[in-house]
Structure 1
Amino acid sequence: MWWLLVTVAVALGYWLLIRPHRYWLRKGVKQGNPGFIFGDNWGTVLRKQSFADMVAMVYNVSPNTRYSGFYQFLLPTLLVKDPDLIKQITVKDFDHFVDHRSFIPGDSDPLWGRNLFALNGKKWREMRTAVSPAFTTTKMKHMFTLISQSGEHFIKYLSKNDENLITVEIKDIFTRITNDVIANTVFGVECDSLEDRTNEFYMMGKEATNFSSFWMALRFFGYICVPKLFKFLQITLFPKQVLDFFTNVVKNSIQSHNKHDFVRPDMIHFLLQARKNGLKQDETEPLQDTEFEINKNSENTKVDITDEDILSQAFIFFFAGFDGVASLMSFMSHELAVNPDIQTKLIQEVDANLEACKDKLTYEALLGMKYLDMVVSETLRKWPNSVAMDRICTKPYTIEAKYPDEKSVHLKEGDVISVPVFGLHRDPEYYPEPERFDPERFSDENKDNIKPYTYLPFGSGPRNCIGSRLALLEAKTLMFNVLSNFELVPVEKTQIPMVLSKKSMSMTAEKGFWLGLKRRSRA
């Protein structure tokens, strides 16, 4: 009898744990060699590979193919690599791929499950429209004033140190500045994280974005592997103290808005207005092409926005601003430090604009700085914050075969698509010498040579990053302030070449972003 039990156990094990990793082979799609249970995530789970390097690995598994298969644990995922197919899926046939993969149920973790990134279908469209007015040109000019003040405060803080060369872990400083900017513009809370280094807002933000933590990684992978179990056990992605803190901040902000009926142009104000008056696109701001599909049927639409929805939106923008912008600036600082010729050229542009503005940078002058824009664009090319983007098939869809060695791929509702941003950005076919930091790729003469849909730092289509304008504005303004007063130089602790950390799910430097701030003397 025992042999029958063994046979059943082996058959069951094959059906549950091995057969899923042959899914794409059965469909005639090329794939790599997924690891047992972990699939292509085995390196990230065992902390032998960064998530970005995993994306590059699966991108290069099957060269010269428009798409290939890989596995997120046991979940089959179609990796779409062809730029024309990426456009087809994310823009032209967007109605078949409206949603992101939502691995955390909305009622399991209110900080994550109800945010704009995780929302699906009609609820996502309504929330996107409610939040959009926060990113018009008028609002960006207001944000610019707040960001400039933070940048000036940063320089005053550093000026207290009379050393000619100040050694810093630059991401720590940038994170403190972005914390204060986002706390102000999203929650209406004023902080000074440079002087008050352990203020509660900063410490909670740091706890929420600590993706190198073992327990954060366990929660994250737990929701991917056994979401129903984690929901049953009431395990949230973020620690309880983080949830409680941001819940109280948002509740207090809502009470202040309602009690005093004042107009403060922060994120919570726009969401409260949408709840009160319905959705209405700002008529003074022209819609982008990708926004038209979202907003065309949204005029004067009443929408049910709960306090929990407001909490979730406010937190996701804080989350993105706290770590995302700080990471962009940190990678940019590193590249400028190890490429002094590029930094010299950028400093010349900074000085020229500072002189033209009579030592007071303006919004218009900042947007006109072409070389700064080129440097930021190349940083996002080489070090994109989002190394991959996903879509869920929401209606049956067929990718027709185009070449003799292809078979048509029939996708059903719920199938997962992934676009390997990091792989595309490092593909020598699109970017010769991809490891070289070269802002000239984005010059007026060269940027038209970049193949569309191979540069996707903020995603693609209607579900692109709604906060990209604010992120770019913040990074450029703060970097302008830095370079107008300091030169970025390598120090003994600077890691050259840069190596990505294998212990963090977010992209960061293995040994930190240690650099020197060398004082400049402008004539």
Structure 2
Amino acid sequence: MLHDQRNPAQNRALSSENGAQRLDAYVTHHIPLRYLEYGRCMGVIFQTWERAAAVRIDGPNGDASGWEVRGSDVQTDSDNRPLTTGEPIDVVDFYGIELPSITVPNITGNASYEAPLDEVAAQFSRTDKLVYLSSAAILGFAVWVVWTYIVRLFLLRRFYEKQGIRFVNKCYAVVGAEMRVSGLQTRNKSHDWLYTERPTDIYGTVRGFSLQLYSTSAEFCEELIAKTGFHVDRDTPALFSFGRLSPYALTFLPINKWRFRERKITLTKGMRDNRRLFDIVSRQAELALKRFKVTNGSGTTINIRELLNHWTRESSGEFIWGRSNIQRQLTVKDTNGELVSLPFMTALNQTFTELRFYASRFWNRVYFPLAALPLTKESRRLSYNIKILVKATEDMMRTPEKETVASLVQEFNDELGIETMMTRDDLVTATIAGLDTIKSSVMGTLFHLLEPENLHWRKQLLDEINELKQQPGDMFVKLSHAPKLNAFILETLRYEPPGSLINNAAVKDFDLSVKDTTYKIKSGTRIVTCIHALHQNEESWADRVDPNMSPLNVFDPSRFLDKTETIIKSYCFMPFGKGPRRCPGQGAGVMMVKVFIAAFLTNNFNCRMAVPENQTKDITWFNIYSKATFDIICDEGDRAPEKALHED
């Protein structure tokens, strides 16, 4: 019989009657109430909580048949069908879970059997503890998530709002601001456009699970840069996008660790060979223009993105690694997961671009580390390609070509005892810095240069370039003294900077004092210099540069003709950053843009621009996340653009 030691009066005997076996089973208190409640939630109705149907009974036939239930304690089954005395019963029907079973032997005559219900109770006790601990762990994790990512963000936001810091509208925790960012991306605008409204000089938002403050004035930016390495330091989401290619690069590391300063010096020294850079970039520009038939009167229609992709890959790759090294073929996976063979620089460029766009998807922006987790086929494919590229760079470092940036930086770092992985990642980052950033800068410059209202600038630039060619001396030196070309490129970088944020975070609590106001900044707060908003801040430019210059929402290169030095020192203009984190390849980047524009104008002055019909002026912006484009048609004589740009 089923025996309850705590209630012996309820023990019953099994007996044989006309060959049919009957069972009265009373199980009291052994089954935790929550199991019965679970059963009830499944639609099961019990007359009492303490009787029968609590343990599965395997009868003499090896299953639930052959036994009868005496009494009427269980009224219905899970289908709400009345149970009658003598009907076999299976507890799984009631609880929806497999309860411990007891096999009762085939009993004949008047023999009796006591089942070990204490063992059943012990098993339920263990299960009960497991459920309890699991529930407690899940509840604890949920409380931690709510506190860390919701309540804490709300309290931190209130802390800053009480100090007078305004926040972007609709930037609530998790998805608020990202909904607006998605809208910006569809218009080829980067998320920093959220902060160009500048209701205050420091502007807040909640992006996903992090609170961020954006400095939008020259005064704030200057103060933050002065505190870099002391109170604020690098904290960038890029670590989880293209940073997967080079996680130990200077770009992603704090200033006071990982031998940052020594490595930056060696990388800067390695990239100073302007003569070699000019020779490579100008030769590659001529080859690209010839390959794509960019010449006056050819009638060719040129896809500018395709042309610039080719030129930046070849130029940057040869400058850093050497001409032979970058020709090696790598077997990587394409977007369909198929193995394909590509040259090193093509594979690197494609992977770099795919990493950035994958990381900019909605949920990857909500929680940045998601982009680096192998949760999707695309992420796993990119991880595979990263391994191939890392191995290839390590192989190239073992066979460096002479006079390349790679050979020079390796030599300098080896003398200092800097680890190979740091050198490798610095070189990879230097390579990819010459890809999409340069491409978007050239596209923006060409776009403005080919607008009809800037035809006079196009003529002035060509005259200046031709005049420089007639003068003695090296062209790479003379290009640094081309004021009109320089002004046009710098205005492009001001109007739409390719990379528009300097991502940092507070490493400790500190006070930020600007304009007779002191803001208390909490450790862990991401505090970012918004270059785009800074370049549009009329108050800062009027105060520090010139109160009478043209509005900043107008493209006007003349503002740089006489005041270049003033602007650069003003902290109003910093397309390459400033201070200890300034881009070490700034000079090389500007040189690349100058060389290509000079070569393009010389070969194709009489050309016109064809913009896609569905690409209005409001969505024609060029930055590293933009997909805006245009074609160039090589015609004889001056003609208007094939499609005039218009407002939405």
Short-chain TM bin: 0.7 to 0.9
Task: Measure, in 2, the Cα distance between the counterparts of 1:386 and 1:134.
Answer: 23
Match of 2:223 in 1: 88
Cα 1:455–1:213 shift into 2, 3 Å: closer
Aligned to 2:497, what secondary structure does the other structure show? coil
- 1:261-294 deviation digits (Å, cap 9, x = unpaired): xx6122321332134211xxxxxxxxxxxxxxxx
Aligned pair partner of 2:286 in 132, 138, 152: 152
C-alpha change, 1:238 and 1:118, in structure 2 (3 Å) is farther
Q: Does 1:243 align with 2:386?
A: yes
Residues 192/175 of structure 1: CA separation in 2 closer, same or farther (3 Å cut): farther
- Give the share of equivalent positions with the same residue, in percent: 16
String of CA shifts for 1:228-261, please: whole Å, max 9, x gaps. Answer: 895587996981343133223322222224xxxx
The aligned runs of 1:180-199 (5 Å cut-off) are 180-190=314-324, 199=342
For the pair 1:334 / 2:444, whether they are aligned, the reply is: no
**TM-aligned CA distance change 1:229 to 1:176, over 3 Å:** closer
Equivalents in 1 of 2:466, 2:581: separation in Å? 37
Q: 1:213 to 1:111 in 2, by over 3 A?
A: closer
Ranges in structure 2 where 5+ consecutive residues have no aligned partner: 1-33, 38-135, 329-340, 542-548, 639-648
User: Counterparts in 2 of 1:116-265, with a 5 A limit?
Assistant: 116-120=250-254, 121-123=256-258, 124-136=260-272, 139-159=273-293, 164-190=298-324, 199-211=342-354, 215-218=358-361, 222=364, 225=367, 227=369, 230=372, 239-257=382-400, 264-265=402-403
Q: Is the 8 A contact 2:235 2:504 kept in 1?
A: yes
SS of the residue corresponding to residue 553 of structure 2 reads: coil
Please list the CA deviations of residues 291-346 of structure 1 after superposition, one character each: whole Å capped at 9, or x if unmatched: xxxxxxxxxxxx4312x323322221221111111111111000000021211211
Kept in 1, the 8 Å contact 2:233–2:504? The answer is yes
Q: Which whole-Å CA distance do the structure 2 matches of 1:166 and 1:391 have between them?
A: 46
Distance between the aligned counterparts of 2:553 and 2:168, measured in 1? 24
Matched with 1:413 is 523
Shift of 1:209: 3.4
1:499 is aligned, of 592, 605, 619, to 619
Q: Equivalent of 2:630, from 509, 513, 517?
A: 513
The residue number in structure 2 matching 1:323 is 436
Give the 3-state SS of the residue equivalent to 2:583 in structure 1.
Answer: coil
Name 1:25's counterpart in structure 2: 158
Q: CA deviation at 1:17?
A: 2.9
Whose radius of gyration is greater, 1 or 2? 2
Greater RCO (Cα-Cα under 8 Å, separation 6 or more):
1
TM-score, length-scaled by structure 1: 0.78
Distance 1:252 1:450, change over 3 A: closer
| Structure 1 stretch displaced more, 71-80 or 428-437 | 428-437
Contact 2:236 2:504 in 1 (8 A): no
| Amino acid aligned to 2:314 | D
Q: 1:350-365, aligned counterparts within 5 Å?
A: 350-356=465-471, 362-365=475-478
- How much has 1:435 moved relative to structure 2? 3.3
Q: Map 1:328-477 onto structure 2 (within 5 A).
A: 328-338=441-451, 339-356=454-471, 362-400=475-513, 402-403=515-516, 408-429=518-539, 430=541, 432-444=550-562, 448=566, 452-477=570-595
Aligned residue identity for 1:126? E
Shift of 1:214: 6.4
Counterpart pick for 2:600 among 462, 482, 492: 482
Q: CA deviation at 1:449?
A: 6.5
Matched residues in 1 for 2:380 and 2:248: separation? 13
Question: Matches of 2:314 and 2:414 in 1, distance apart?
Answer: 28
Q: Quick one: structure 1 residues 277 and 203, their matched pair in 2 at CA, closer, same or farther if it must change by over 3 Å?
A: closer
| Comparing 323-332 and 202-211, the one that deviates more | 202-211
Indicate how the Cα distance of structure 1 residues 251 and 446 shifts in structure 2: closer, same or farther if over 3 A, else same: closer
- Summarize deviations over 1:147-188 as a string: whole Å, max 9, x none: 121122234324488953322121221121110011111122
CA distance in 1, matches of 2:193, 2:243: 31
Which residue matches 1:78? 213
d(CA) in 2 for partners of 1:505, 1:174: 14
Matches within 5 A, 1:40-51: 40-45=177-182
**Corresponding position: 1:69 with 2:186:** no
1:215, distance to aligned residue in structure 2 (A): 4.0
Q: Cα gap change, 1:520/1:183 in structure 2, threshold over 3 Å: closer, same or farther?
A: farther
Q: Secondary structure at the match of 1:381?
A: helix
Structure 2 residue matching 1:333: 3-state secondary structure: helix
The normalised TM-score by structure 2 is: 0.64
Structure 1 CA distance for aligned equivalents of residues 522 and 590 of structure 2? 37
CA distance in 2, matches of 1:240, 1:345: 48
The change in CA–CA distance for 1:15 and 1:469 in structure 2 (over 3 A counts) is closer
Offset at residue 145 of structure 1 (A): 1.4
Any conservation in 2 of the 1:246–1:315 contact (CA below 8 Å)?
no
Task: Check whether the contact 1:18–1:36 (CA below 8 A) recurs between aligned residues.
Answer: no
In structure 2, how many angstroms separate the alpha carbons of the residues matched to 1:313 and 1:237? Answer: 24
1:333-370, Cα deviation, whole Å (9 max, x unpaired): 0000002121121111122223335xx97112211111
**Contact 2:237 2:368 survives alignment (8 Å):** no
Unpaired runs of 5+ residues, structure 1, are 258-262, 279-302
- Within 2, Cα distance between the matches of 1:79 and 1:216? 21
Shift of 1:45: 4.0
Report what 2:20 is aligned to: none
Question: What corresponds to 1:289 in structure 2?
Answer: none
How many residues align structurally? 470
